[in-house]
Amino acid sequence: MNQTKPQYHGYRFPPDIISHGVWLYHRFCLSYRDVEDLLVERGIVISFESIRSWSNKFGPAYARSIKKRRGTFGDTWYMDEVYIVTVRVERRYLWRAVDQESLPMSGANAVGSGMCLIC
51-98 per-position pLDDT tens digit: 999 999 988 887 777 677 765 655 676 666 666 778 788 887 777 777
Whether residue 110 has pLDDT greater than 50: no
Question: Are residues 30 and 64 both part of a single domain?
Answer: yes
Domain extent at residue 27: 15-69
CA distance 45 to 73: 40
Of all residues in the chain, what percent carry a pLDDT higher than 90? 28
Asked if residue 81 belongs to a domain, the reply is yes
pTM reported for the whole predicted model: 0.52
Q: Of 52, 69, 86, which one is at a domain's C-terminal end? A: 69
Is 33 within a domain? yes
> Are 48 and 30 in a shared domain?
yes
Average of per-residue pLDDT values in the chain: 76
69 or 107: which carries more pLDDT confidence?
69
**Overall domain count for the chain:** 2
Burial class (CB in 10 A: 0-12, 13-18, 19+), 119: exposed
Residues 56 and 26 both lie in one domain: yes
Reference 88, options 49, 57, 119; nearest CA is: 119
Q: Is residue 7 part of a domain?
A: no
CA distance 60 to 58: 6
The pLDDT of residue 106 is 63
